[in-house]
Amino acid sequence: MGFARTCAVALVGVEGVVVEVQADLEPGVAAFTLVGLPDKSLTESKDRVRAAVVNSGSAWPQKKLTVGLSPASVPKGGSGFDLAVACAVLGAAERIDPRVLSDIVMIGELGLDGRVRPVRGVLPAVLAAADAGYEQVVVPECAAAEASLVPGISVLGVRSLRQLIAVLTDEPVPEEDPDEQGRPDPLMAGLRMPGTGAATGMHSMGAAQHDHDLADVVGQHSARTAVEVAAAGGHHLFLEGPPGAGKTMLAERLPAILPRLTKGESLEVTAVHSIAGLLPPGKPLVDIAPYCAPHHSATMQALVGGGQGIARPGAVSLAHRGVLFLDETPEFGSQALDALRQPLEAGHVVIARSAGVVRFPARFLMVLAANPCPCGRFSQRDDLCECPPSMIRRYQARLSGPLLDRVDLRVEVDRVTRSELTERGARGESTETVADRVRAARERAAARLADTPWRTNSEVPGRELRSRWYASLGAMDEAERSLERGALTARGLDRVLRVAWTVADLVGHDRPGATDVALALQLRTGVPRGVPMAIGALS
């Protein structure tokens, strides 16, 4: 009788569980049994592993073979167990010393020819292995850079099963034939999920590119100020205005003025994008704010996560630490929009399914964009709109009050005039200039919140703001009167104070004054308060 064991990782959301892969050989009729709550894709690994072992030059044991995945109560799926199953079988057959395998975590899919293919979720799987105390992992060669992001763990990248066998048995490592020049590496296909590229609006690089400059936006001084405040404090933003006024341009340029992600934030974002199959080839670490802009036909599962079996991350998780842009917001389903309320407050989303409960991070900056009416021409200044009042009310009522109450900044984007569009040499501030102010404001907030679990003003609970970081004497009087009149809710009052702190950080004030609070109220309610809508004018 032969027995061997090694380890793999089962992913539940962005968290991993180390699974012990045990192989047992007994005399009897040749058979291969896989137990331990595997799904369909894992059950099929029996045929992949058998073919890969034979085509790698090793003999398949002609005995009764049982492979167990422990703990058996954890659902297991995917093809990432192939490599561990093959090595456990070879260890039980004494082709590999079983003692060598016991402390190694193996992650990878096997092709029928023995090549090791990458799988999604390598980073969270290696993080789980490191947390469990393992020091060695084996991953596909093309995913070794992603696995190496985890400190304190030794990573071995292999291109084929026979290479791994040679390494574990101290034999000469064979060379693999190089791929044809000019053709994409077929092994990289496992790192991406079909249908999740840049065309879908769900991609890790987002719009934070050099050719998207805020200086390209004509006019829209109030909206530009709101975008700057949103980036500095992590506040949610609602842009309302006619078609062609620049709402999408502003949203696309928002990620570029956000600070670069810290190392911890980068690992969080990369883990989510690795599971979703969105990591771009050759860039294992996402270090800039992601940008996600789903189409308005997206379902609730596409927005918050879900799907068959173990839930997969949705748009709110793909936008973690970045921007979620919902263009034509009233056209989204009301159920899908209302599902955003919980992640907006909690910073994560918990999805319960029959196959298990998963938790995905979802701390994002939400930008809503909408037309004022179905035709888009409704305005208080002219009568170009042809929509009846009842239709306008129904259209605007698609955005529920509880959802809008969670939005800190609401700005009307005006129609661009001919003079603004044709004027020469009157460009606004560039992305670089605004990004420098945002970075300085974030640093002031981080220094103030250094001994707390929060890093941006939007994360600070209202009770902490009112007891520890209050505004100047009398600065909140007008906001409190708005609360008494019913123009603000209690949550709205807290959000006004958060925005006021962000404005104070942008202009360099020690604490919010009456002018800072007035601008925050104006950005919250849209009612003019007699303050300039420009950060430079408040300094």
Residues 362 and 79: their CA atoms lie apart, in Å, by 27
HSE, side-chain direction, 13 A CA sphere, residue 314:
27
Output the CA–CA distances (angstroms, integers) from residue 98 to 25, 71, 89, 263, in the order listed: 13, 20, 10, 37
Q: Are residues 385 and 373 in contact, defined by beta-carbon separation less than 8 angstroms?
A: yes
Q: What is the DSSP string of 259-310?
A: PPPPHHHHHHHHHHHHHHTBPPTT-----S--EE---TT--HHHHH-B-SSS
Q: Which CB contacts under 8 angstroms, 24+ apart, belong to 397-400? A: 398/329, 398/330, 398/334, 398/337, 399/329, 399/330, 399/337, 399/368, 399/370, 400/334, 400/337, 400/338
Q: In what order do the strands lie in the sheet with 365-370?
A: 202-203, 291-292, 323-326, 365-370, 237-240, 409-412
Q: Give residue for tokens 């009398």.
A: 474
How far CA 304 is from CA of 276, 277, 295, 299, 349, in Å, comes to 13, 17, 14, 9, 7
Contact 291, 257 (CB under 8 A): no
Tallying the residues shown for the chain, one arrives at: 539
Strands of 176-267, DSSP E: 202-203, 237-240
Q: Could you give the dihedral angle defined by the CA atoms of residues 42, 46, 47 and 51, in that order, rounded to the nearest 10 degrees?
A: 120
Q: Alpha-carbon distance 59 to 90, whole Å?
A: 9
What amino acid occupies position 57? Answer: G
- Asked if 403 and 341 count as a contact pair (C-beta separation under 8 A), the reply is yes
Q: Is-contact 217 253, C-beta < 8 A?
A: yes
Give CA separation, 198 vs 203, 335, 400, in Å: 6, 26, 30
What pLDDT does residue 414 have? 83
Q: Please give the Cα distance from 229 to 483 (Å, whole number).
A: 23
Contacts of 382 (CB under 8 A, 6+ apart): none
Cα of first residue to Cα of last residue in the chain, in angstroms, is 80
- Residue by residue, pLDDT tens for the chain (539 residues) are 689 999 999 998 888 999 999 999 999 999 999 999 898 889 999 999 999 999 999 999 999 999 999 998 888 888 999 999 999 999 999 999 999 999 999 999 999 999 999 998 999 999 999 999 999 999 999 899 999 999 999 999 999 999 999 999 999 999 877 654 445 555 555 455 444 443 345 444 444 444 678 888 887 888 999 999 999 999 999 999 888 888 999 999 999 999 999 999 999 999 999 998 888 767 789 999 999 999 999 999 999 998 776 788 999 999 999 999 999 999 999 999 999 999 998 899 998 877 678 899 999 999 999 998 888 878 766 667 888 989 989 998 999 988 998 999 999 888 887 777 777 665 778 899 999 999 999 999 999 999 899 999 999 988 888 888 888 888 899 889 988 888 888 888 999 999 999 999 999 999 999 999 999 999 988 777 777 666 755 55
444: three-class secondary structure by DSSP: helix
* Among 138, 113, 3, 116, CA closest to 56: 113
Is 384 strand, coil or helix? Answer: coil
Q: Determine how many CB atoms are found less than 10 A away from the CB of residue 138.
A: 26
Q: What is the pLDDT at residue 194?
A: 45
Q: What is the pLDDT of residue 94?
A: 93
E strands, 99-207, where? Answer: 104-106, 109-110, 116-117, 136-140, 154-158, 202-203
Instruction: Give the largest CA-CA distance in the chain.
Output: 88
Strands 365-370, 237-240: pairing kind? parallel
pLDDT of residue 486: 84
Contact between 17 and 74 (Cβ < 8 Å): yes
- C-alpha radius of gyration, the chain, whole number: 27
d(CA 190, CA 196): 13
